[in-house]
Structure 1
Amino acid sequence: MRKAMKLVALLGLVATLSTGCAVNRATGSVDPSTNLSALKTMYVKRVAEDDNTYNLIADKLRTKGVTVTTGTDAPAGNVDAVVTYIDKWMWDITMYMLELTITIRDPKTDFPLATGNSFHTSLTRLSPKEMVEEVVENIYKGAK
């Protein structure tokens, strides 16, 4: 009986230690009526507490041929889309970006034209630049 309990305890310990908290998810979707290639000017609306994510998003969109401006207020001029984002950070020995959601919106109605998300826990973490690249690429892959 004692050996059986030790074996069960040992198997439980091995099972606990061998399972990790490695989760990663990346998605992108575009409204069927949206033509992303027609959106030539975008405004990335900066989150007030953000130091650099808005710049990474703007730079990545520029590689797609989009003219991008940034700011914390409403866009000053005429733009084809407003880009909003939510970045969630986590502490695990160092700070890392846990999740990033980017939404491309109609500037007049605020309707979400396209959205993308990337979620990586500590063991599969990516740099903020890699997270932005993953999300934007998935959005553009979702375009028809």
Structure 2
Amino acid sequence: MKKALIVLLQLGMVASLVSGCAVNRATAHVEPTTRLSEIKTVHVKKFADDNADTNVLIVNKLRTKGVSATTGSDAPQTKVDAVVTYVEKWMWDITMYMLELTVVIRDPKDDYPLATGNSYHTSLTRKSPQEMVNEVIDNIYKEQGQ
């Protein structure tokens, strides 16, 4: 009886530790006046602390949506329909992994956010940076039925 109680308590402690670690959230919002189908050229502004070339992953994903995309840390060299910014957060849990990615498609004239997408995955539901980018961009376009 005492042994069974100890095992039960141990299982309860393990369950409480594990259950709080699995968070999986993906959101997207597109301004009602925004027509993503009209955005044909974008410039992805490289996040200053990006060490994983997430900007390149975003460019490549946008190209699969039929968008002509460039990237760099400076302003676009030519006129574009939108500027894409992003912020990534990384976490350590045995290995480094991308915890959160937020992508914002902005009006190049006034920096107004036209569309925003976010992906947040803790250690137990972690995704690769490519999967995070795919999830965010796909959700933004799905928000407008594309």
Report the TM-score, using the length of structure 2 for normalisation. Answer: 0.89
- Please give the per-residue CA displacement for 1:31-90, whole angstroms capped at 9, x wherever unaligned: 000000000000000013323100000000000000001110111210000000000000
- Alignment correspondent of 1:72: 73
Question: Percent identity between the aligned chains?
Answer: 63
SS at 1:103 equivalent: strand
Q: How does 1:5-44 map to 2 (within 5 A)?
A: 7=5, 11-19=8-16, 20=18, 21-44=21-44
Give the match's secondary structure for 2:131: helix
**CA distance, structure 2, for counterparts of residue 108 and residue 131 of structure 1:** 28
The 5 Å alignment of 1:63-142 reads 63-142=64-143
- The runs of 5 or more residues in structure 1 that have no matched partner are none
Q: How many Å apart are 1:29 and its aligned residue?
A: 1.0
C-alpha distance in structure 2 between counterparts of 1:57 and 1:99, whole Å: 14
Unaligned runs of 5+ in 2: none
Cα offset, 1:16, TM superposition: 2.3
Rg comparison, structure with higher value: 1
Cα deviation, residue 12, structure 1: 4.3
